[in-house]
Amino acid sequence: MPKPHFIFTQLKNSFRVHIPNLEELQVSDIQKIENFVNERKGYFDFNSYSFVIQKRLEFEEFKKLIKQSTLEITLENRPLEKTLMPRVGFGQYKGVFYSELPDSYLLWLKNNYMGREKKIIEAEIKRRNL
């Protein structure tokens, strides 16, 4: 069976990990990943095959964290693609580019925001493959 493949992306105040081969993994591997995320108060999104943890970690620190865990994975570092999108016009992230928002906040907006910037939010979610 294949090992989970993690693609690490550093965000402004957090990081995101995409697992492109999630469907090929055994249930026990997925449960280990879920436990890893839950122990760190993160959010695992099965729709986008990714998880976010609200902690500022660099790639090398994340690598050490994985080595200390029971997860056996392959790991890749992929920098965030910056695009100039409009800035958020409301809430705690007012003035921040949509491209710099944490994944967890974007996913929350997807389900809870009904304003005029909904299409911008959906476009950013699609761009990140969330």
For residue 85, name the pLDDT band (cuts at 50, 70, 90): low
User: What's the CA gap between 45 and 16, in Å, rounded?
Assistant: 11
- Three-class secondary structure of residue 48 per DSSP: coil
Region 13-34: what's the mean pLDDT?
91
pTM score over 0.75: no
Q: What pLDDT does residue 13 have? A: 75
Region 87-99: what's the mean pLDDT?
84
Give me the residue label for tokens 């990714």: 50
Handedness of CA 119, 91, 52, 46 (dihedral sign): negative
Region 60-69: what's the mean pLDDT?
94
CA angle 28, 31, 35 (to 5 degrees): 140
Q: What pLDDT does residue 84 have? A: 52
User: What's the CA gap between 74 and 77, in Å, rounded?
Assistant: 10
For residue 81, name the pLDDT band (cuts at 50, 70, 90): low
Give me the residue label for tokens 């761009």: 127
Q: Is the pLDDT of residue 60 over 70?
A: yes
Please name every residue paired with 9 in a beta bridge, in sequence order, or none if there are none. Answer: 16
User: What's the CA gap between 113 and 109, in Å, rounded?
Assistant: 5
Region 77-84: what's the mean pLDDT?
70
Domain boundaries, the chain: 5-77, 82-130
For residue 121, name the pLDDT band (cuts at 50, 70, 90): very high
